[in-house]
Amino acid sequence: MSSTGEADRYPELVQAFIAYMEVEKGYSPATTRSYGTDLDQFDTFLRTRRRSLDHPERVSKDLVRAFLADLHRRAVTKSTMARKLSSLRSFFRFLLKNDLLQKDPTTGVRNPKQEKHHPKALNVDQALALMEAAIPPDPEGLRDLALAELLYGSGLRISEAVSVDVFDIDSGMVRVLGKGSKERIVPVSDKCEQRVRAWLAQRHAFDPDPEEQALFLGVRGKRLNRREANRALARLASVAGIPRDVHPHMLRHSFATHLLEAGADLRSVQELLGHERLTTTQRYTHLNLQKIMEIYDKAHPRAEESDHKNK
């Protein structure tokens, strides 16, 4: 597995679980690292109680609760606590499924009650100002504008945007690989296509390796990473005079907010975002691509009429 070097220090059963999540479930290296980190933290806590994940049968429900209480004392956010508990549940269910454990110690342990946060979004004027920021039309500037257009115009996660390859955008659509290696096709605006073409004409200035397929490049001609992407958006926001911190996920929230405000139905936006559910009670609903494209054309501020959307 791709995280072998880091995972070698984990208990053997945790290594087996991480391999299962990566190979069998198709989870990304970032996701499996997150599982590994959570389980490693729990194992460290257990060792202060003379227990460990080397002997999961000795882990009790009280120890799981004590772990959560310890996180609370250290002011860990409730959302992070819930994620860590989810990691433990997945691990112990894996052991049960493979007859490596007789009883799940997370059964009956409730998730911490979550605070309600409303996602931050730009208003339409701010979003359009960001897309039209008057930055120099050099290779870096063209890349940054193309990235912003893709994040806002198609509602991609930053992990999806930086993973897009050169040939993934074609005929007004982009192919992305979302969470759990689930592929989806998302419309892109005419303006986004223009920005991407302008960037591709200057992409060679980053001196990429001939084998590098990444659409967006960073230092040394390698695939752009999240940190570089954050800096790119911060530069655009500064030039556009937007008086707030702008990060990639804010553009994804803005995409969804503006579509909903323009009348798009919730389940259509759900499809475009690649969510299995927008709330814990909402079922995942499939819509055909033509319907999704019609919703996009009608509601998104950056959408324009083009031939491919009428086909």
Cα dist from 73 to 47, 76, 88, 264, whole Å: 18, 8, 19, 43
What is the radius of gyration, based on Cα positions, of the chain?
A: 22
Is 253 a catalytic site residue?
no
Is 9 a catalytic site residue?
no
Q: Which of 157, 223, 235, 267 is catalytic?
A: 157
Dihedral sign for Cα 209, 213, 218, 224, please: negative
For the residues of 85-116, what is the DSSP string, one character each? HHHHHHHHHHHHHTTS-SS-TTTTPPPPPPPP
Q: Which of 72, 103, 182, 284 is catalytic?
A: 284
Is 117 a catalytic site residue?
no
Is 203 a catalytic site residue?
no
Q: Which of 33, 51, 179, 223 is catalytic?
A: 179
Cα dist from 282 to 113, 178, 278, whole Å: 19, 19, 6
Could you give the CA distance from residue 95 to residue 54 in angstroms, rounded to a whole number?
12
Is 275 a catalytic site residue?
yes
Name residue 111's amino acid.
Answer: N
Q: Among residues 44, 21, 41, 16, which one has the least CA distance to residue 31?
A: 21
Q: Which of 84, 143, 191, 252 is catalytic?
A: 252
Q: Which of 65, 184, 235, 249 is catalytic?
A: 249
Is 179 a catalytic site residue?
yes
Q: What is the DSSP letter of 222?
A: P
Cα dist from 206 to 22, 62, 87, 101, whole Å: 32, 55, 39, 52
Could you give the CA distance from residue 251 to residue 131 in angstroms, rounded to a whole number?
11
Task: Catalogue the active-site residues.
Answer: 157, 179, 249, 252, 275, 284
